[in-house]
Amino acid sequence: MKTGRDVTQTGLYASSCCLAETGLRKDAMFPRCPKCLALTVWMVVTTPVAPKDKKAA
Ligand SMILES: [Zn+2]
């Protein structure tokens, strides 16, 4: 997800350039990297509804 794109899922994201983590909400816009202020690509760190770890609760 690049800077300027819409956030499709609320969660914690990290910039690919500096690994600066920031929480973003759905329908917000991906910002520039908060550290180096460059256009960047955001990687998902965690999402609150990701059912990837389905252990017995
Ligand atoms: Zn950066």
pLDDT of residue 49: 65
Joined together, the tokens standing for residue 43 give: 């990687």
Cα distances from 24 to residues 31, 40, 47, in angstroms, run: 9, 15, 10
Residue 20 Cα to ligand 1 middle (Å): 7
Helix (H, G, I), strand (E, B) or coil at 13: strand
Give the pTM.
Answer: 0.79
Residue 27 Cα to ligand 1 middle (Å): 22
Residue-wise pLDDT tens digits, 2-55: 999 999 999 999 999 999 999 999 999 999 999 999 999 999 998 776 566 666
Cα 44 from Cα 25, distance rounded (Å): 12
Residue 55 Cα to ligand 1 middle (Å): 35
Q: Is the pLDDT of residue 57 over 60?
A: no
Q: Is residue 24 within 8 Å of 30, Cβ to Cβ?
A: yes
